[in-house]
Structures are given as structure tokens and as C-alpha cells.
Structure 1
Amino acid sequence: MRISQLEGQRVALWGWGREGRAAYRALRARDDQPSAVVERPGFGMTSHSAVESRDSEGQGTLPLTLFCAGHEAEQVLALGDPALQVETEASAERLAAFDVVIKSPGISPYRPEAVAARERGTRFIGGTALWFAERPDARTICVTGTKGKSTTTALLAHLLRAGGHRTALCGNIGLPLLELIDGDAELWAIELSSYQTRDVAASGVRPDVAVVTNVFPEHLDWHGSEQRYIDDKLALLTQARPRVAVLNADDPRLAALSLPDSDVRWFGRADGWHMRGDALHRGDAFVLDTRDVPVPGRHNRGNLCAVLAAIEALGFDGAALAPHAASFRPLPHRLQVLGVRDGITWVNDSISTTPHASLAALDVFRDRRVALLAGGHDRGLDWAGFAEAMKARAPMAIVTMGQNGPRIGELLAPIARSAGFTLQGATDLADAVGRARAVLAGEGVMLLSPGAPSFGPYRDYTERGRHFAELAGFDPQAISGIPGLGIA
């Protein structure tokens, strides 16, 4: 759906985070187009709505209703937009009063009120769908996956820029697409969460390349079930029908897919880009030693295979660009080594929101004395696999915290006794840090890799990571910038 197609329709925004604000600005930026706004008796717009907002040239402003949290309403009203009505309760009845609701990604379309409104004819779309519809000629490389998608997207943009290509780095990584709706880029490296992948299909525009790093259960509270999460994540392939699909050959769910409308390129296979230990190969040809690539963990360096396969899918020379990975700047909150304080190395992996991610983080520091801080918002993920792994490769200590901390602790308790690691429960992150510091006694690694979202005490993983840095004695703002966002 093009933004111009919203004219004459009843339109609402749902959510006032960064994506919601970007959608609002994009809509208002298009209000210089001729408008066909008409008054709709009984629609319920307040007296300051835009049905009367027309300038001397006969142009108008699209009336909007914004559903947002109560504490955001005053901030929104301060904008002084006479065409914007603010409401704080997005009930099924109110949502059903609109033809189109532009929804922020964090709001699940499977919420009962959204389902009820959809059954009554309301169409829900996101900013990603709007951007793709507005920019159908853009050369896009969409990257998703349960783990590694941010690093993969950023590394892709880095190498493309090193090759002289003007490239946008945007999407879920921290810069909404709609903030760059008029951006001038040759190539678009776009990170997509599972909240956004169906949006690409909804736009009706096929991506040039889609990269999927892996798929395993996450965000079950948003998607409602493991299968729905998988279906939503893979919609980038099965419904958006990219021209080229770059897939991880080691992932069984990806290996089982049939994609007749896409040219499938595999990474992690001996006939393509793959790792042999720390050595990067293209088929039988050695390309480089990835130990010089400044991203932590072999699993992260393995994402370079996905990046180079995508670069080749675009028609460029991956082997020629691969050495530029050595100048890549790692992303914050992803196995980020903050530094050493009082003999302890502090590692911020706040973006870790699954047990699989925590296991991968522990593997990076498997030869060190490690105290792991685990737990957060409970969205029903199964920690049994993590617990089983602790029988053979447990850290020195695990301190649980957050909403699911007691559940994790209960699962680990019998294993801790037999495997010989320290297990403690903490009330919050500060308490967890204090307990882990005491166990390490001035030597080892303090690893925040919680395997769970931050919701509750923190707005997002960034805020949690900043608090961890502050507790360690580092500048919380200095550690958080994402290098390379935007167009360069």
C-alpha cells in the first residue's frame, strides 16, 4: 500500500516508539500532495481533527488517530498537530473504526483486539510495508534470523561500502526504514525482526536478496506459538519470494524449505562459502583467517559466510571484499567487551534473548573463569537444552535474575550439585552483579548474556546493557553507539 492510497481512508497509528514516530513523520511529509479528505459523520474525530485542515491551494492533511501509552499522550499533544487525535485505549471496537491501522512492530497482530478488528475489516500494516511500497525500485538485501542478524547486516553494509557502493544500513538494527523514505542509496542492507518479515510480503515488492542466518524459537509471547514464530520468520522467503535466497545449510528448518520462486544460494556448505575451523573458504579455496575479524565468537565470524554469499548474489566479487572485514567495528551489546575492572573482564551481551544465545556466549569464553548472569522477562522459552548443556560445559557460576530467574534456577539446581558450579538467585541486575563479583573474587569474566528479554525493569536490551556498564564503572552512553547507521 502506497501512502497516497491512504487518502480518503480512516487511518490510525498504533504505538509511539521510534517506528511509530517515523511513520507519523513519513505521513506528514506526504501531506503536500492533493488531499481528498472528507468529513465522516459519526466517526468520532475530535473538534481539532483535520477534516477542516485545508490550505489556500486546496490541499489537506490526513486525519490521524494515534493509540499510545498514557505517559506519551502529553508529549504527542505538544506537537500541536490539529489533525492528530490521541487515544490511550486501543480496544477492538476503536480499532475496528478504522480502515487502516499502521502498527509498530512490537505490537503483536495476534492480540485479541487486533484479531477482532481484522475480522471486521480493519487492515493492519507496518512501516516496513509502507517503505517497500514507496520504494519498489530500491535494491534491497533483507537479513533476518534468530541470532546474528544485526552483525550480519552491519558487516554486509561495511563490505559493500568498502567496495565503493553507497549503502544504507537500516531497519530493526536501530534506524526505521521510514526515516530514510527519500534516502539516496545504491543498495539497502535491511535488518528485519520476526515482527517485520510479513510486512515485506504485504508490500507486494520482492526483495533482491534475502539472507536467513538461522531459525529457532524466540518471541513466543508475541507470536503465540513456536510454529507461528517460524512461519512468520520464514515469510520473508515463502511469501515475499526474494529473487535470491541466501540460506544457512546447517539449519535443518532452512534446509527443508522448498522455494521454487527464488534462486537459493547456500552458505556453510563445502561447495560455497564455509568455515574450516577459523579459516574462511570459498569452495576449496582458502580466503582468509577469520581470527583477524573483530567480532567475538566463531559463530559470529561464520556470519561472514552469509555476507559474502549475499555479495556474490548481487553480482560482486566476495573474495575481493572479504579482507575488509578486518576493519569492521563490532556492534554494542553483542558480546561486547567493556574492559577490565579490578581483575574482572566485563562482557555485555545484553541483546541475548534466547538460551541458545547464552550458550553461544559461554562457548566464546569456555577457557575462562566465567560468572554468567541469566534471566529476564519470561516468554515461555524452554531452558531444558541449556540445562542439559550445563552438565558438560558449565561456567564457574550462574546467577539467575528477572521474572524467569526462579524457573531457570529450579531447572539448574540438581545439575549444579553434580556438575559443581555455583548457582545463586538474585533480585535484580545490581544484586546479580554483586553476587557474581563475590564469586569471581577479582579474576575472570562477568558475562551478562541473559537469554531473555529485558521487559519489565528496562525499556529494551540497550537500557539493560547501559545499566550493566554503569554497574561495572564504564560510561553507559559511550558503549552504545551503533557504527554506520544510515547511508554512506
Structure 2
Amino acid sequence: MRWADLEGRRVAVWGFGREGRAALNALARHLPGQAVDLLCAPAEARVAGDAFTSVRVRTQTPDEALLSGYDVVIKSPGISAYKPELLGAQARGTRFTSGTALWFGTHPGERTIAVTGTKGKSTTSALLAHLARSLGVRTALAGNIGLPLLELDGASAALWVIELSSFQTGDALGVDLGVVTSLYEEHLDWHGSRERYVDDKLKLLAASARVLVNATQPALLARAVAHPGLITFGDTAGWHVAEGWIRRGTQDVVPASAVAAPGLHNALNACAALAALEQMGLDARAAAPAVSTFVPLPHRLQPLGQHEGLHWVNDSISTTPLASLAALESLGERRVALIVGGHDRGLDWMSFVDAMGRQAPLAIVCQGANGPRVADALEAAGVAGVHRALDLAAAVAAARHALGGDGVVVLSPGAPSFDQFKDYAERGQRFAALAGFEPGVASIQGLGIA
């Protein structure tokens, strides 16, 4: 969809988060004088009215009748496309779009790499931008990673690296290279089922001229194999990790340990970034040494430092059990107390339980809304060192006690934060404070154009 498609129509913006505000600002730039309504929560109404004086603010809960009164609704990504009221309005003729769709619809000539994946998409996107910039390429880093595309509307870059969530992949259009880092069970509350999540995630394949996928995941590879522009990473023919090295085919390029972000999975993310650069005609081998100067993203296996004899690692971004397993893998043979649990989306934890039955850390502290369910499953499987805690504060105290002043406390919940916090960042910041570190706002470096 293009901005011209909205001119003279009955238009609403649904959601007053960062994406919603970016859409309102872009509407004012592209269609000055266009009437627009904002659908937001009552608590947001005053701030919204003060910031956008020409916008009519509506605080009633959007139902089918309200939504069907508009020709076009620009919705925020977090609002599920499968809400019954949305589907009902859609059937009555309302068109739903997004800031992402509007950006792609009006930037058909840009060189674009779009990155998605259950895990690894943010780190891969940031690594891609960092490595491209090390070669002197003016690169934009935006999207789901923390900067809506519409905030860069009208800006120019030689290369656009765009992270897309599963909520946004269907809005992409004309992508030069689509990258899929991994595919696991996630966001079932938004999509409604695992099958729909997978289908939505892989809409990026249809939107991309070429696709780069993780060859270490057979199920993902099977879904992508029919794409005429398929390229892979993680297999021995291309960029992969073997014997402690990041390799291109049989050639050792840089040690895997050179990647500033820890863990085998991050070395594989680096392979994805290098393979993507190569596919865009850039010198990936020349860029490879810059993996050592990459600043790891906050809340993603972020080493906080040492306090009271313990090392602390913040992996609050972890919202699936497999992410918790990856966090443990990155810590090797150290004495570890792992904190898991949070908002319960009904995900299957049995792969985690099975892995813990084979090799568990010194302590697993289960907290939050789904903590009892996870603890029950671990204990039923005979896993030792299981502790229960009501909330994150109690979990940190239990982890401290279990380690006795020697080891690593890692927060890698394997679940969302919404049972106790507004988002994973607030959870990570609270963990850091409980660990005894000075408060600070962790931000992702490199967003925007450089």
C-alpha cells in the first residue's frame, strides 16, 4: 500500500506505541490535512491529544462496528491480524495495513536485506549493519529491532538491514535478500497455532528475490527448498562453524571466539551476516575481522560483570525453552544457576526437560506464572537442583544461595515477561538491579543510518 491510497479515505491508526506515533508523523508529512483517528487506550488519550492536536482520539475498545467504519486502518504490529473483530471488519471492506507495509510500498528501489527468525534475528541484523559499515557502506538498521521504518522515512542509505518479527513478515515487499536465522515455536498467542506461526514467519520467502536460510535446521530448509533463489549458511559448502573457526567452505576465516557475542549460536549468526554480505556483492572476508568489535545487544546473553563473587548474565530476551538451552550451552562447564519462567503461553517445555535430564546446571530456579509447571516437569523427570520462587526477586535470592559465592547466575527465562513486567527490557533491568549493578538504560548501538 502507498500513501496515495489513503488520500481522502476514512483512516485510523490503531495503537499509540512507537509504531503508532511514527505512523501519525508520517501521515502528517505525506498527507497534510488528511483526517485521521487514533484508536488508543484511555490512559494514553491525554498524551496523544497533546502530541497530535489535529487527530481525533478515540478510546473505546475497537470492535467490528468501530473498525468497519474506516476504509483503512494502520495497525501496530503487536495487534494480532487474527483478532475476530479485525477479521469481521476486513470482511466488511476495511483494509488493514502497517507502517512496515507503507515503507516497503513507497521504497521499491532500495537495496534491502530483511532478517527474521525465532531467535538470532536481532543479533544477525545488528551484526550485518556493523560489518557492512566496516566496509564503508552507508547502512540503515531499522525495523523490529527498535526503530520503526517510518522513523527513517525519506532518509537515504546504500543498504537497508531490516529486522522483521513474525507479525511483520507479511508486510514486506520486493526484498532483495530475505534471511531466516531459525524457526521454533513462538508467539502462539498472536498467531493462534504453531502452523500459522510458521506460515506467517515464512511469508518472507515469498517477498524475497533470494533467501538465505539456516541449513542446520532441516525443517526450515525443507520449507525453503522450493525457492528458486535459495542460499544456505551453516553447511560446509558455505559460511559455517567448525573446529573453533568461522569458515567459508574449507577456508578458516576468523576464530569463532572472536565474535564479541558469546556462544556457538552467535558464531552461527555471524555466519548468516557474512553470507548475506557476500550475496549482496560485498567483501565478506574483508569484513569478517570486524566481528570482534561488534557490541553485543543488551538483554541477549549480556555479561553484566562480577558482584559478590558471582558472575551475572542477562539473557532476558529469551522467551522460548530452546533459547534457555542455548544460553546454557554458551556458558560451558561453569557452575551455573539458571533462572527460568515467566508469562505462560502454553509452550511445550519437554525438549528443555529432556536436555536437563541428560545434563543440568547446578541449580534451575523456576519462577513466575509458569514456574510451577516447569518445576513439576523437571522434578517428574528426576532432574536435581530444582528450586521454586514466586517472582524474580525471590529467584535471584535462591540462585545466590545455591551457588554459595562461586559461579554464574544467568537469567534466561524461556518465557515472556508479562506476568511481572511490561517487557523483556524492564525484566532485564530489574535483574541487573537485583544483582547489585548500577541502574542504566541499555540501548542497542547502531540503530539508524551510519
Q: Same fold (TM over 0.5)?
A: yes
Separation in structure 2 between the aligned mates of residue 262 and residue 457 of structure 1, nearest angstrom: 45
Unpaired runs of 5+ residues, structure 2, are none
Unpaired runs of 5+ residues, structure 1, are 33-60
The within-5 A match list for 1:51-450 is 61-79=33-51, 81-200=53-172, 205-237=173-205, 239-240=206-207, 242-258=208-224, 262-415=228-381, 418-421=382-385, 423-450=386-413
Amino acid at match of 1:487: I
The alpha-carbon deviation at position 321 of structure 1 amounts to 1.2
The alpha-carbon deviation at position 261 of structure 1 amounts to 5.7
Amino acid at match of 1:485: L
Separation in structure 2 between the aligned mates of residue 465 and residue 258 of structure 1, nearest angstrom: 35
- Percentage of pairs with the same residue: 54
Query: Once the two structures are superposed, what CA deviation does each residue of 1:67-116 show, in whole Å capped at 9, x if it has no partner?
Result: 11121111111225133232231111101111111111111011111111
User: Which residue pairs with 1:465 in the alignment?
Assistant: 428
Task: Specify whether residues 273 and 80 from structure 1 end up closer, same or farther in structure 2 by C-alpha distance, changes over 3 A only.
Answer: closer
* Equivalent pairs, count: 450
Q: Please tell me whether the aligned partners of residues 278 and 298 of structure 1 are also in contact (alpha carbons under 8 angstroms).
A: no
Separation in structure 2 between the aligned mates of residue 298 and residue 261 of structure 1, nearest angstrom: 28
Separation in structure 2 between the aligned mates of residue 18 and residue 185 of structure 1, nearest angstrom: 22
Q: Please tell me whether the aligned partners of residues 211 and 230 of structure 2 are also in contact (alpha carbons under 8 angstroms).
A: yes
Note the aligned Cα RMSD (angstroms). 1.3
Separation in structure 2 between the aligned mates of residue 293 and residue 255 of structure 1, nearest angstrom: 25
Query: Once the two structures are superposed, what CA deviation does each residue of 1:161-205 show, in whole Å capped at 9, x if it has no partner?
Result: 0001000011111101010011111100111110110111xxxx3
Quick check: 346-355 or 66-75, which moved more?
A: 66-75
The alpha-carbon deviation at position 243 of structure 1 amounts to 1.6
Q: Please tell me whether the aligned partners of residues 376 and 452 of structure 1 are also in contact (alpha carbons under 8 angstroms).
A: yes
The alpha-carbon deviation at position 258 of structure 1 amounts to 4.8
Q: Please tell me whether the aligned partners of residues 7 and 31 of structure 2 are also in contact (alpha carbons under 8 angstroms).
A: no
Amino acid at match of 1:17: G
Separation in structure 1 between the aligned mates of residue 30 and residue 419 of structure 2, nearest angstrom: 36
Alignment of 1:481 onto 2:447:
no
Q: Please tell me whether the aligned partners of residues 211 and 227 of structure 2 are also in contact (alpha carbons under 8 angstroms).
A: no
The alpha-carbon deviation at position 365 of structure 1 amounts to 1.6
Query: Once the two structures are superposed, what CA deviation does each residue of 1:240-295 show, in whole Å capped at 9, x if it has no partner?
Result: 1x121111111122211356564111111111111113211111111111212211
Separation in structure 2 between the aligned mates of residue 369 and residue 332 of structure 1, nearest angstrom: 23
Separation in structure 1 between the aligned mates of residue 68 and residue 44 of structure 2, nearest angstrom: 23
The alpha-carbon deviation at position 414 of structure 1 amounts to 2.1
Amino acid at match of 2:438: D
| Structure 1 residue runs of 4 or more that deviate by more than 6 Å after TM superposition | none
TM-score normalized by structure 1? 0.90
SS at match of 1:257: helix
Separation in structure 1 between the aligned mates of residue 77 and residue 195 of structure 2, nearest angstrom: 19
SS at match of 2:51: coil
Amino acid at match of 2:27: L
Amino acid at match of 1:189: V
TM-score normalized by structure 2? 0.97
Q: Please tell me whether the aligned partners of residues 77 and 86 of structure 1 are also in contact (alpha carbons under 8 angstroms).
A: no
Separation in structure 2 between the aligned mates of residue 103 and residue 259 of structure 1, nearest angstrom: 33
SS at match of 1:243: strand
Separation in structure 2 between the aligned mates of residue 292 and residue 338 of structure 1, nearest angstrom: 19
SS at match of 1:27: helix
SS at match of 2:235: coil
